[in-house]
Amino acid sequence: MGEVFAGRYELADPIGRGGVGAVWRAWDHRRRRYVAAKVLQQSDAHTLLRFVREQALRIDHPHVLAPASWAADDDKVLFTMDLVAGGSLAHLIGDYGPLPPQFVCVLLDQLLSGLAAVHAEGVVHRDIKPANILLEATSTRLPHLRVSDFGISMRKGEPRLTETNYVVGTPGYFAPEQAMGAEPDFPADLFAAGLVALYLLEGAKPDAKSLIEHFAEHGTPSAPQGVPGPLWGVLAGLLQPDPEARFRTATGARKALLAAAELLPEPGPDDELIEVFDQLGPLPPGFGPNGPATRGRRARPLHSTGPAESPTPPTVPEPAPHLEREPHPQSQRSPEPQPAPAPAPAPEREPTPPPSAPSSMPPPASAPTPHPAMSETGSFHLPPPAPAPDIRFATPPPLPPPVPPMPAVVLPPHVAPAAHAVTTVVPHEPVPDRHSLYALRRGEVPDRRRTSPGPPPRVTIPVLLLALVCFTVGIWALTQA
């Protein structure tokens, strides 16, 4: 597993290195995809300021590879961009050498399209070279180019971060005015684009110094060997040493290139087919197409069609055959304590045979299993209790007939009720229902709560008399007040 940066980016493997940092292939845990992460190596103020300038650049264009996000963790910072797998133009020349003119026209048109978008944002790249121009892995389809590495780019009008008479960039792709310390401008990028196109046509790095001298002394030279005349006319307009004589905008150069490409011959059937390979290679161990592998074993998904173990249905044990066991002669007398035997190792559990294939060999009846005197824990074995009868499905007894209500007692007219007679109502015994009968049959005692009787009359009468006296005294006190 790689290092997780800022809790989001997991670094997988390095895929490039620049002047101020290394580029890693990283997994973005939030967006669930691989990205290219440029990790800053130095932490001085000058480098940090350039880093801030680069990561702040946001250009949405199909031929521009600009930073998409950034993160900081302790003393490290990085920014991320789309992962481009086809390598750079330098890799392409290393694989094929000089490229066909029609193929170069496609690449140069895309390069100028990307520069037009960058210049429209007021940004001067200042480091256009084959290593900073990346390709998507398109195989034999139409190539797709993207301008990258804005580490030393700057907006026009911003203060320069370099000292006076100090030039930044890559030697061999400087514009003449850039080498003399002039303020960065858009035509300097166009001069470097012309040198890149010449590099693709010749398969080697052009000698920019001798080319500039030839332009200054003899004017525009003739087309080099292998470069068609219409295409050379466009390249000569990009390679003019005088920025005033050069193309001023990338859009103007694209229009001239389109007119020149129409004059070029169509590629023949014998021309070599250019294929852009995947230059990144396989992912490192622990990483897959869907991100880093999960730590620990992972449960197999339910929808998996692989050779996963199917859940075994629960096996119903077959009833053991009933063996008639003769009474033991010593079962009538109390067992004598015997020393506990040493615990035997637990036998290995054997797989239960499926119900469809029961064993046809019954156990021998001549060798009954001896009843041990003591268990493995040293306690005596007791005979198992008799199973209780299952009355869950027993037929309920018939309900008794309902008890008729008791008739009211009518006193004769000559019998007067007592003065202080208390009439007590005796409730009838409730008729047991079916559930009560089941409970009684099972031996359960219903929960009957009896109400406690009141206090006896010898306590109640004195209390009532005392309360009456207090009430009378209170009334008298109120009338005297």
Bridge partners of residue 139, in order along the sequence:
276
Q: What superfamily in CATH does domain 84-281 come from?
A: Transferase(Phosphotransferase) domain 1 (1.10.510.10)
Domain extent listing, the chain: 1-83, 84-281
Taking only the tens place, the pLDDT of each residue in 46-88 is: 666 676 666 677 889 999 998 888 888 877 888 899 999 999 9
Output the pTM of the full model.
0.60
Relative to beta strand 287-288, strand 291-292 is antiparallel
Indicate the residue type of 165.
N
CATH class of 1-83: alpha beta
Q: Please state the rounded mean pLDDT for residues 373-397.
A: 51
Higher-pLDDT residue of 78, 406: 78
Bridge partners of residue 10, in order along the sequence:
4, 27
Q: Please state the rounded mean pLDDT for residues 419-427.
A: 45
Q: How many whole angstroms from its chain centre is CA 95?
A: 38
Q: Does 115 score more than 90 pLDDT?
A: yes
Average pLDDT score over the chain: 75
Contacts 24+ apart (CB under 8 A), 263-272: 263/228, 263/230, 264/101, 264/102, 264/105, 264/228, 264/230, 264/231, 266/102, 267/100, 267/102, 271/100, 272/96, 272/100
Environment class of residue 109 by beta-carbon count within 10 Å: exposed (0-12), middle (13-18) or buried (19+)? Answer: middle
CA distance 60 to 302: 41
Taking only the tens place, the pLDDT of each residue in 302-330 is: 333 343 444 444 444 444 444 444 444 44
Taking only the tens place, the pLDDT of each residue in 173-199 is: 989 998 888 888 999 999 999 999 999
Q: Which of 363, 45, 113, 130 is nearest to 250 (CA)?
A: 113
CA distance 318 to 17: 72
